[in-house]
């Protein structure tokens, strides 16, 4: 295994993918003093970072040839494969010794494939899955779940410290994203349970404001759920973690379970509700299932759409 020095402000970072999380993570890294080159498929998303001092690359391949460390936060496995192995050409153009910190939530086998391809070229790849929504990304309080080679993970602590409150080494390549699927399965299931509890309270005639306020103060509701209840009480579903991404992660978890011949009945049911809400259109937070179940409590047609 190649020996690496600790990543510091002497190293230029490249950041690919400036969406909900990526733009905020990149901004924090810039603020921490790391020199940075950025790329996004929709070039208008690079303007804010350029104003803060980032260099803008015209292609992922150009970026890869200029930097010491490549970070990416992409929509799905298809995008990751295209950026690194396909038309994006990152692995073909990165210098030997480049380190990759891949932040996207993808299937563990996608991360392992990227790791193996990089290793053949003298490029080290970490899968560092991100747990936390946009407010946590803005505040630098994300949780990071990493897979790959432990010595490489240890060199990235200054990068991690700029964007997260805690980070965990989970094991070999693919382990970081595997843990993220575990975490997000629980996240999605817990939100569906809150939504169903709210729907039950509504059918039992409880006053809506009291139902939301008191439920949020009980021991069975986590701080994340309490914050979502406060937003849902105000009918506010602006995307902090879009429902399309929750649905994607449910799909990854269910696919992994199917390959292992493991039944996840509650996850399957929650995924159906997420899918129905996603089809209703609009870019909304995954907590919009609360509204959907509220509608189900009083409107039979809304509930029948889940079947």
List residues bridging with 56 in a β-sheet.
Answer: 38
pLDDT digits (tens, 9 = 90+) for 40-89: 999 899 999 999 999 999 999 999 999 999 999 999 999 999 999 999 99
- What angle, rounded to 10 degrees, do the helices at 223-233 and 289-298 form? 60
The stretch 229-246 carries a mean pLDDT of 96
Contact of 158 with 135, CB cutoff 8 Å: no
Whole-number pLDDT of residue 303? 41
- Is residue 134, in this structure, part of any structural domain at all? yes
Q: How many domains does the chain have?
A: 2
C-beta atoms surrounding 86 within 10 Å: 15
Task: Kindly indicate the confidence band of residue 191, based on its pLDDT and cuts at 50, 70 and 90.
Answer: very high
pLDDT at 304 exceeding the cut of 50: no
pLDDT digits (tens, 9 = 90+) for 128-141: 999 999 999 999 99
Extract long-range pairs of 28-35: CB within 8 Å, 24+ residues apart: 28/137, 28/138, 28/140, 28/162, 28/163, 29/71, 29/159, 29/162, 29/163, 30/54, 31/162, 32/158, 32/162, 33/9, 34/9, 34/159, 34/162, 35/9, 35/11
pLDDT at 2 exceeding the cut of 60: no
Whole-number pLDDT of residue 146? 98
Same domain, 20 and 169: yes
Whole-number pLDDT of residue 294? 96
Same domain, 196 and 169: no
* Domain extent for 34: 13-173
Task: Kindly indicate the confidence band of residue 299, based on its pLDDT and cuts at 50, 70 and 90.
Answer: very low
- Is residue 144, in this structure, part of any structural domain at all? yes
From 111, 145, 173, give the residue that closes a domain. Answer: 173
Chain CA centroid to CA 291, Å: 23
List residues bridging with 16 in a β-sheet.
Answer: 39, 72
pLDDT digits (tens, 9 = 90+) for 16-30: 999 999 999 999 999
pLDDT at 293 exceeding the cut of 80: yes
- Is residue 1, in this structure, part of any structural domain at all? no
DSSP 199-257: HHHHHTT--HHHHHHHHHTSTTS-HHHHHHHHHHHTT----SSBHHHHHHHHHHHHHHH
- Residue 98 CA to residue 207 CA, distance in Å, equals 58
User: The domain that contains 59 carries what CATH number?
Assistant: 3.40.50.720
DSSP state of 15: E
pLDDT at 306 exceeding the cut of 80: no
For residue 113, the SS3 value is: helix
Same domain, 18 and 152: yes
Distances 94 to 62, 69, 99, 112, 118 between C-alpha atoms, Å: 9, 9, 9, 18, 10
Whole-number pLDDT of residue 3? 64
């Amino acid at each position: 295994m190649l020996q690496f020095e600790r990543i510091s402000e002497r190293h230029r970072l490249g950041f690919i993918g400036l969406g909900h999380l990526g733009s905020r993570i990149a901004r924090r890294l810039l603020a921490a003093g790391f020199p940075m080159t950025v790329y996004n498929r929709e070039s208008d998303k690079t303007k804010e970072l350029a104003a803060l001092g980032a260099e803008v690359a015209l292609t992922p391949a150009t970026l890869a040839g200029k930097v010491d460390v490549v970070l990416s936060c992409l929509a799905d496995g298809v995008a990751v494969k295209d950026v690194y192995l396909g038309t994006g050409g990152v692995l073909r153009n990165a210098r030997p010794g480049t380190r990759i910190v891949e932040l996207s939530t993808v299937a563990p086998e996608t991360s392992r494939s990227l790791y193996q391809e990089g290793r053949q070229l003298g490029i080290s790849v970490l899968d560092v899955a991100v747990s936390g929504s946009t407010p946590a990304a803005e505040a630098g309080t994300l949780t990071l779940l990493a897979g790959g080679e432990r010595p490489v993970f240890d060199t990235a602590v200054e990068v991690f410290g700029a964007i997260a409150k805690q980070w965990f080494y989970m094991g070999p390549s693919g382990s970081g994203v595997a843990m993220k699927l575990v975490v997000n399965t629980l996240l999605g299931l817990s939100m569906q349970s809150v939504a169903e509890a709210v729907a039950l309270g509504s059918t039992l005639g409880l006053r809506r404001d009291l139902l939301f306020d008191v439920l949020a103060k009980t021991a069975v509701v986590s701080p994340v759920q309490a914050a979502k209840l406060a937003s849902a009480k105000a009918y506010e579903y602006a995307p902090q973690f879009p429902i399309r991404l929750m649905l994607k992660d449910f799909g990854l978890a269910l696919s992994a379970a199917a390959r292992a011949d493991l039944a996840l009945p509650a996850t399957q049911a929650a995924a159906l509700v997420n899918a129905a809400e996603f089809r209703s259109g609009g870019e909304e937070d995954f907590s919009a299932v609360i509204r959907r179940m509220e509608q189900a409590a009083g409107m039979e047609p809304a509930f029948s759409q889940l079947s």
